[in-house]
Structure 1
Amino acid sequence: MRRKSFLKKASIALAVAATMAMALPASAMKLKSLNLQELTAESQNIIAGEVVKVTDGFDNNRPYTEVTIAVGHDAKGKLKDESTYTFRQFGLIKPRSMGNGKVYLGVTPDGFAKWHVGENVVAFMYKPASITGFQTTAGMAQGKFVVRDGKVMNEFANTGLFENIDTSAISDEERNMLTNPGGVDVNIFMNLVNKMAGGQQ
């Protein structure tokens, strides 16, 4: 009986350790700065659209946030316009009461994109993880851009986004955009992204 109790406690400890191991690297990691060409190259899809649903839950005891985007355009050309795209990202939206007096704290780690219903976004989606199927944006929060008042900007105010980009095949309008700090015109931005994505397919 004592052996069974020990094994049960050991298995619980291992499960907790595994969950922490999954969350810790994401929250503790230092993000590598990616420019627009690198974000485009690392993306499976580049979705311009509106966030229409955000929920959370558990999948095989793994916490996730599920996001649905109404697709206006996919610069990679793999998704149909006016379709929807749903993915699950690691971590809950907020801490959750487990109904036993305990609160589960496994929220979306720092460095990951955060999602809100009604946002107009340009999401550079990285491929899903092979084991969990979880997915996030390329470059983590760097790959999620919010469109406001015709301007597009990521969580880091587009810092480093236009550094070391090949400008040999871009228009004067696009070249001017590269020198602007902060938010940039969404139409010019998407024209450049479409051009980059077309050249990388």
Structure 2
Amino acid sequence: MFLSTISHGQRVLDVCCYSGGFALNAAKGGAMSITGTVNVILSDILLGVDTSLPALELARENIALNNLDPEKTSFLREDATVFMKGALSRNDSWDIVILDPPKLAPSRKVLQSASGMYRNLNSLAMKITRRGGLLMTCSCSGAMTQSGTFLRTLQGAASMAERKITVLRQSGAGCDHPIDPSYPEGAYLSNILLRVL
């Protein structure tokens, strides 16, 4: 996975980590993190944050399955917005932040409100990405991806965060998620790597 090629020696945070796929790839690439979380200082820990306890349990199992050091990777159960606001109040920042929220726009009917949620989450993620660092942001909402509003939403997030962004890489689903040309709605995954200044 691409993330492992850019993670060596970097402080990495995986927000909405689910089963830890991005975090584990970053760990395999040699990522490290010095992270402050609620009343606890975690040194040399790569951190994943999610609200789902079953997902976090699966992420911890994936550490063992991938022969990674459980002392170097930690998963925290907390709301993404609450965690990022807390990190911001403590002046915590990371070299690489991954933001992969669940589907926020299941249909075009809710696209406007979902755009606001994506904008707010990405604004917070940009604020906790060190200046010059990378934000890998994702959307699995077909309504967002297919409407072409994701980049505009990210630009709005950058304005809110008072940051400048540059798109370094944009991709969709991997080869394990083929798209049937007769079903264009299947092309709903979007992954954008940004430099945050």
Q: TM-score range by the shorter chain?
A: under 0.3
TM-score by length of 1: 0.25
TM-score by length of 2: 0.26
Larger RCO, structure (CA 8 Å, separation 6 or more): 1
> Which of 1 and 2 has greater Rg?
1
